[in-house]
Amino acid sequence: MSVNESKTWTEAQSYCRETHADLATINNMEEMKNLNITRKDKTTSSVWIGLNRGNTGRWLWSLADGGLYSEGDEYRNWRSGEPNNDKGREFCVGMYQSNGTWFDISCETSYTFVCYNEILVLVNLTLTWKDALRYCRENYVDLVSVHSEEVQSWVTELTQKASTDHVWLGLRHTCTLNFWFWVSGESICYQNWAPGNGTGGEDCGSGERSGAVGSSGGQQWVSLPQNQQLNFICSTY
């Protein structure tokens, strides 16, 4: 979402975190194209994006949970000669409207900016796990992977608005290899299984099992037949 108010980078970040999720993060060319489409009818010359150098000296993206991250294979779209850290005080990143290239500049400069919307979306359709997976990948990014307590807290908040007793996650069991995995490819480090669930040894007599989270109580994860029809949560980023 474009915000046509001029703010410093820190002010823009605070605004986005209060009203949306965070300043825009750009991980690949497709996201770069989408951001350009978002801004195509705007007239300002430059906007803030969520990249800054902070205390580490590394360029890191701002996250809505207050953290920072940098992927191993970082996408960057620097303008030729940038970043140049002019006068040793350019720690934040703006984007030129004309061609979408990036430049470093003082964080105290005032620009308009781009927020991205909620990271997770509850979909109140009732679909099988496979249909939910297809829906998320066609309309958002993927079924949600709950890889930390922070993500679990977002999921907990969303599931309270569900119309089904459980809500599909991007959690899948393979009967062939007898283990659970996130369809996004992320490792299962954080876990929140209800007692008796997620232990392996699933009953595969009726097909593969998939993971869901309860929409009330402790919002713990359970193993369910993939053909049950539930609401589901998609990740948008």
Q: pTM higher than 0.85, yes or no?
A: no
What's residue 91's pLDDT? 93
Note the pLDDT of residue 104.
96
Q: Answer yes or no: do 39 and 93 share one domain.
A: yes
Q: 180 and 105 share a domain?
A: no
Q: What is the mean pLDDT of the chain?
A: 84
Q: Is pLDDT larger for residue 79 or for residue 118?
A: 79
Structure tokens at 87: 């006068």
In a shared domain, residues 59 and 148 = no
AA letter at 175: C
* pLDDT > 70? residue 39: no
The residue from 88, 116, 144 where one domain ends is: 116
Domain stops at, among 73, 91, 116? 116
Q: Which of 65-74, 144-153, 224-233 has the highest mean pLDDT?
A: 224-233
Kindly tell me if the per-residue pLDDT of 158 is higher than 90: no
Identify whether the C-beta of residue 35 lies closer than 8 Å to the C-beta of residue 26: yes
Same domain, 90 and 149: no
pLDDT of 71 strictly over 50: no
Q: Which residue has the tokens 């350009």?
A: 36
- Domain span at residue 58 reads 2-116
Picking from 62, 94, 116, the residue at the C-terminal end of a domain is: 116
Same domain, 109 and 131: no
pLDDT score at 73 = 46
Residue 163 has pLDDT above 60, yes or no: yes
Residues 93 and 43 in one domain: yes
Q: Residues 154, 140: one domain?
A: yes
Higher pLDDT, 228 or 198: 228
Same domain for 106 and 135, yes or no, is no
**Total domain count, the chain:** 2
Same domain? For 84 and 152 the reply is no
For residue range 175-204, list pLDDT tens digits in order.
888 889 999 887 788 899 999 898 767 777
**Radius of gyration for the chain, computed over Cα atoms and rounded to the nearest angstrom:** 20
Residue 76 corresponds to which tokens in the numbers above? Answer: 């960057």
pLDDT in tens, 120-146: 888 889 999 999 999 999 888 899 999
Q: How far apart are CA 154 and CA 96, in angstroms?
A: 33
If you average pLDDT over residues 28-57, what whole number do you get? 74
Q: Which of 40-44, 62-66, 140-144 has the highest mean pLDDT?
A: 140-144
pLDDT range class, residue 72, cuts 50, 70, 90: very low
Verify that 125 and 231 share a domain, yes or no.
yes
**Residue carrying structure tokens 């300002």:** 44
What is the reported pLDDT for 7?
95
* Residue count of the chain: 237
Same domain? 204 vs 97? no
**Sign of dihedral through CA atoms 115, 118, 119, 123?**
negative
Say whether the peptide bond before residue 83 is cis (omega within 30 degrees of 0): yes
CA distance 11 to 186: 32
Domain with 185 in it: what CATH number? Answer: 3.10.100.10
Question: What are phi and psi for residue 17, nearest 5 degrees?
Answer: -70, -30
Assess whether 7 and 100 both reside in one domain.
yes
